[in-house]
Structure 1
Amino acid sequence: MDSASPPSPPPAQASAAEASGASNASLRWRILRRALLARSASTSRAPEETSNDQQDKNDTNKISRKTSRGFDLIECHMLPISQSTKSHGDSSSRNDNIVECQNDVYVCYKLPCEGSPKLNLVYRREDSLELNDIVASNRYNIDTTGLVCCWPSEEVLAYYCINHSDMFRSKKVLELGSGYGLAGLAIAASTDADEVVISDGNPQVVGYIEQNISINTETFGQTKVNSMVLHWDVEQASEMNSSFDIIVASDCTFFKQFHQSLVRVVKSLLKPSETSQAIFLSPKRGDSLSKFIEVIKKNGLTCELIEKYDPTVWNMHKKYVSGDNRSWPNYNEEHCYPLLVRINSHSK
């Protein structure tokens, strides 16, 4: 045996590792199969379907590091459809803006800032991935993660932006890969930004963003809020070049094949000013974040990586790691704790 080669694990250990890997792979395939099965349009469901749903949740918890509440930084609760737009006075006219769908849920967020404005967001249910979603993913060369849920990094980004509201005053802001748009909507509702554009590459997701903008219009004050489909690998219209003061994004660096396109978008859309910047929040996820930073530097941009950017988020992270807080069972620093990457638009 080559002395530089790592020793092979004992047969018992190797067998256990292989069994664990095979078990996880089997669970993933089983969950995917269930997700792709056509669901009945009927509201009545057979007992075995309900049983399968519960098994889905149990299986997912065994292999997923996703959590429905994440860092739990912004107070929120689910709303019945009839109450989903009643946060600000008489909302009878705004109820018409909500398209009812059995696969949707409605969540009310109470933002932690002056006046405690509320945002009502429409999400797709977490267990409602459909074959059409996979088709759209292949057609547009995008992933479907924006439809799955509001990911923890998005909540952290929203919280960070609310606590740094001064930086957005009179600025034109773009959110990339926004999913349902919590961070962009929070910026629009809690800061004096001039304009906020919330974008995603998935047209289905942008449909949800448009609906969420519509039902929260009165929360935005004088801030203009728009949505758009934005594909990172497609050159943008010339009028968009150098037009944004701040770009924000969360959990957008996991797929390495998109790094070059993502950095190109940031470089082309940010204004050429020393005060312009992009703020990314992403966990390490192996070497994906470090590879993204390498691409940033290769494109002549400067950046800094910040681990402790908010004391509340940092303290919660430490409690999850130590086990003092057990509300996030599969918490893992590399996969769950978002680091802050601040990118400056001016070249080296």
Structure 2
Amino acid sequence: METDNTKTTLRPASLRWKILRQALLRRSSPQNSDEQSQIGVMNRISRKTTQGFNLIPCQLIEKISNSRDARVCYTLPVAGSPKLFLTQRVDNHADLGDFEICNRCNIDNTGLVCHWPSEDVLAFFSLSHADMFRSKRVIELGSGYGLAGLVIAATTEALEVVISDGNPQVVDYIQRNVDANSGAFGGTTVKSMTLHWNQDDFPYIVDTFDVIVASDCTFFKEFHKDLARIIKFLLKKVGPSEALFFSPKRGDSLDKFLEEIEGNHLHFSIIENYNAEIWKRHQMLMSGDESWPNYDKDHCYPFLVRITL
């Protein structure tokens, strides 16, 4: 979800409750004109898409009976790469239990909503930059269903890949996906992890990782301070190390996050055109490609931010 500069100035928390209300309205009586208008606003706010940049072909394999889940096959567009099979949700309904867990754990539920386009970009970028991960210890933050982390584990000969999220429901999906693809990882150790960016009790992973990766993790400004802090904690202090973030600008959200990065005495660079194929598809969408009807550069196109100590 994202807030446009349109007819709403609602804060993220208010938007989440409106989204829940919208989901409940779908299951009750037909909407009146007021309710239909609210849904129209939410449709303008939402940047969710089933299409994205179409960088990694995927196919629904089976809908899991008596479940909201399905198995999806991702065919990596590099010769010799294995297919990856992910279990993920395929419905569009918010669930009251999801919101209860979010409130209890002080997290958001975006990792459950869908497979987000920036994750696709991170996964595709990793495929063509295997040398950045080879023999390295890698952690993905806020990974959702874990596609990018699984791609790194299956194709780059990384030493270790930790796929993390703060939402325990999401981590359950990650572990299922790690187990389902265990034969694709070769000698790479792959783990799931519940990791809250504000936690202090993780001495076993401080000063550990050569590479941190993340996609679209800078949206909620209330998490910026903790996110910048944990990057500094996790990066290995001896030898080269860096964090690779793929994030749309989303108004001033990315800029505010980078202020926190500087406040933690970290260094960063921003790259707009970092891959020829991704840039070509971005240009096509900007020119009116109808596969992503509400495409907007500020909200949808992820910049590459490279962060170092």
How far does the alpha carbon of each residue in 1:265-311 deviate from its partner, in whole angstroms, 9 at most, with x for none?
11011101352000000000010101111111111111101101111
Partner Cα separation in structure 2 for residue 101 and residue 177 of structure 1: 28
- Tell me if structure 1 keeps the 8 A contact 2:143–2:149: yes
Match in the other structure for 2:21:
33
Question: What SS is found at the alignment partner of 1:185?
Answer: helix
Please tell me whether residue 69 in structure 1 is matched to residue 33 in structure 2: no
Please tell me whether residue 340 in structure 1 is matched to residue 300 in structure 2: no
In structure 1, list runs of 5 or more residues that go unmatched.
1-19, 40-45, 49-55, 82-98
Match in the other structure for 1:280:
245
The aligned runs of 1:137-286 (5 Å cut-off) are 137-286=102-251
Question: What SS is found at the alignment partner of 1:143?
Answer: coil
- Tell me if structure 1 keeps the 8 A contact 2:22–2:39: no
Sort the Cα spacing of 1:77 and 1:267 in 2 relative to 1 into closer, same or farther, 3 A. Answer: same
Match in the other structure for 2:7:
21
Q: Which has the larger radius of gyration?
A: 1
Sort the Cα spacing of 1:120 and 1:279 in 2 relative to 1 into closer, same or farther, 3 A. Answer: same
Q: Calculate the TM-score normalised by the size of structure 2.
A: 0.88
Q: Calculate the TM-score normalised by the size of structure 1.
A: 0.79
Sort the Cα spacing of 1:236 and 1:161 in 2 relative to 1 into closer, same or farther, 3 A. Answer: farther
Match in the other structure for 1:304:
269
- Tell me if structure 2 keeps the 8 A contact 1:274–1:344: no
Taking only the aligned residue pairs, the percentage that are identical comes to: 54
- Tell me if structure 2 keeps the 8 A contact 1:36–1:131: no
Aligned residues: CA RMSD: 2.9
Please tell me the residue identity of whatever aligns with 1:343: I
Partner Cα separation in structure 1 for residue 18 and residue 267 of structure 2: 44
Partner Cα separation in structure 2 for residue 206 and residue 224 of structure 1: 17
Partner Cα separation in structure 2 for residue 21 and residue 64 of structure 1: 13
Please tell me the residue identity of whatever aligns with 1:75: P
Sort the Cα spacing of 1:163 and 1:236 in 2 relative to 1 into closer, same or farther, 3 A. Answer: farther
Please tell me whether residue 110 in structure 1 is matched to residue 72 in structure 2: no
Question: What SS is found at the alignment partner of 2:7?
Answer: helix
How far does the alpha carbon of each residue in 1:132-187 deviate from its partner, in whole angstroms, 9 at most, with x for none?
11111111110110110010000000001111011111111000000010100010
Partner Cα separation in structure 2 for residue 189 and residue 33 of structure 1: 40
How far does the alpha carbon of each residue in 1:295-346 deviate from its partner, in whole angstroms, 9 at most, with x for none?
11111111101101111111111111121x211000000000000100012x
How far does the alpha carbon of each residue in 1:185-239 deviate from its partner, in whole angstroms, 9 at most, with x for none?
0101111001100000000000000000111110111111000100001114212
- Tell me if structure 2 keeps the 8 A contact 1:168–1:191: yes
- Tell me if structure 2 keeps the 8 A contact 1:201–1:232: yes
Partner Cα separation in structure 2 for residue 61 and residue 190 of structure 1: 37
The aligned runs of 1:317-336 (5 Å cut-off) are 317-323=282-288, 325-336=289-300
Question: What SS is found at the alignment partner of 2:270?
Answer: strand
Partner Cα separation in structure 1 for residue 173 and residue 184 of structure 2: 17
